């Protein structure tokens, strides 16, 4: 049994018995941890545990060797989100992001990248105009974390480049449709293999957005002028790839996808 003190992200919080809560937490060093917060849930108006999933907490805890169940000694807020200020879109994506992280984080595995994604989520401005771009960027980060990155540079079959550098315009993508090769994350062009399902189509405009996601630093402002409709197509396409790679189907997916539709 050793005692540690470190910042942990609250990932899930579930009522347990009459007055307790079961929490999942993410440690950069120790991966997913679980604990019971005794009397965290009081009947009546007040609760002793006011934190929400996504909050960063300073936690002092006891842990046994090779165990992911911890005993919390002390807890204090470090970076607290104000979920009441979230827009509807952000609220649904937030729930979705945390559900994915709770499903893919593992006990005992160092989780520096997932921890950084949650830290970015807290630092992000989430400005209404850029919200779709930010959602796309987080899904791109999750794909990078999965170790099954997307290769959007060449057709897997004919090896032709999908894009060329133009000195004035940056990357210019071939006028060609592509789809994902499901097993490898590479692209196949429609000349090599006709695309039968329109939902699987990746257009040159979508590949360009993927290029931007890949080549824009996390703390850099997103470029202006990406049409919402293309951003939504990219989000859906990358997201489908991510879920397939992990073999997961989060419960919050349908509501999150519904929120991507433009408001009338």
Q: Catalog residues that contact Zn ion under the rule CB under 5 A.
A: 155, 157-158, 189, 192
- Provide, rounded to whole angstroms, the least separation between the CB of residue 123 and Zn ion: 40
Are 249 and 149 in contact by the 8 Å Cβ rule? The answer is no
DSSP, collapsed to helix, strand or coil, labels residue 158 as coil
For the bound state, the minimum distance from the C-beta of residue 187 to Zn ion, rounded and expressed in Å, comes to: 8
Min separation Cβ 202 and Zn ion, Å: 13
Smaller CB separation from Zn ion, 145 or 156: 156
CB 211 within 8 A of CB 169: no
* Shorter beta-carbon distance to Zn ion: residue 139 or 207: 207
Q: Is the dihedral of CA 79, 83, 89, 92 positive or negative?
A: positive
Nearest distance in Å: CB 242, Zn ion: 24
Compute CA 154 distance to the chain's CA centroid, rounded to the nearest angstrom.
26
- Nearer to Zn ion by Cβ, of 50 and 158: the residue is 158
Q: Which is nearer to Zn ion, 34 or 193 (CB)?
A: 193
- Give least dist CB 25 to Zn ion, A: 46
Report the residue number, 157 or 244, with the smaller CB distance to Zn ion. Answer: 157
- Give the helix/strand (H/E) hosting 123: helix 112-123
The C-alpha atoms of residue 7 and residue 21 are separated, in whole angstroms, by 19
Phi, psi of 122 (to 5 degrees): -75, -30
Q: Which helix (H) or strand (E) holds 162?
A: none
């Amino acid at each position: 049994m050793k005692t540690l003190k470190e910042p942990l992200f609250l990932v899930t919080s579930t009522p347990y018995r009459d007055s307790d809560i079961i929490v999942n937490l993410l440690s950069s060093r120790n991966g997913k941890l679980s604990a019971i917060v005794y009397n965290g849930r009081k009947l009546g108006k007040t609760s002793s545990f006011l934190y929400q999933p996504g909050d960063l907490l300073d936690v002092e805890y006891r842990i046994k060797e090779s165990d992911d169940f911890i005993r919390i000694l002390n807890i204090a807020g470090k970076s607290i989100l104000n979920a009441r200020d979230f827009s509807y879109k952000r609220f649904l994506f937030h729930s979705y992001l945390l559900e994915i992280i709770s499903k893919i984080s593992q006990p005992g595995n160092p989780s520096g990248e997932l921890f950084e994604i949650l830290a970015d989520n807290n630092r992000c401005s989430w400005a209404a105009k850029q919200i779709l771009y930010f959602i796309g960027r987080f899904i791109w980060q999750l794909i990078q974390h999965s170790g099954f990155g997307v290769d959007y540079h060449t057709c897997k079959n004919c090896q032709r480049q999908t894009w060329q550098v133009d000195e004035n315009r940056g990357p210019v993508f071939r006028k060609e449709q592509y789809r994902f090769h499901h097993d490898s994350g590479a692209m196949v062009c429609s000349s090599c293999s006709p695309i039968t399902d329109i939902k699987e189509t990746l257009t040159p405009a979508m590949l360009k957005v993927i290029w931007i996601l890949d080549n824009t630093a996390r703390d850099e402002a997103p470029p202006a002028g990406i049409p919402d409709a293309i951003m939504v197509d990219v989000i859906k396409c990358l997201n489908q790839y991510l879920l397939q790679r992990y073999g997961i189907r989060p419960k919050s997916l349908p509501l999150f996808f519904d929120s991507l539709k433009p408001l009338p």
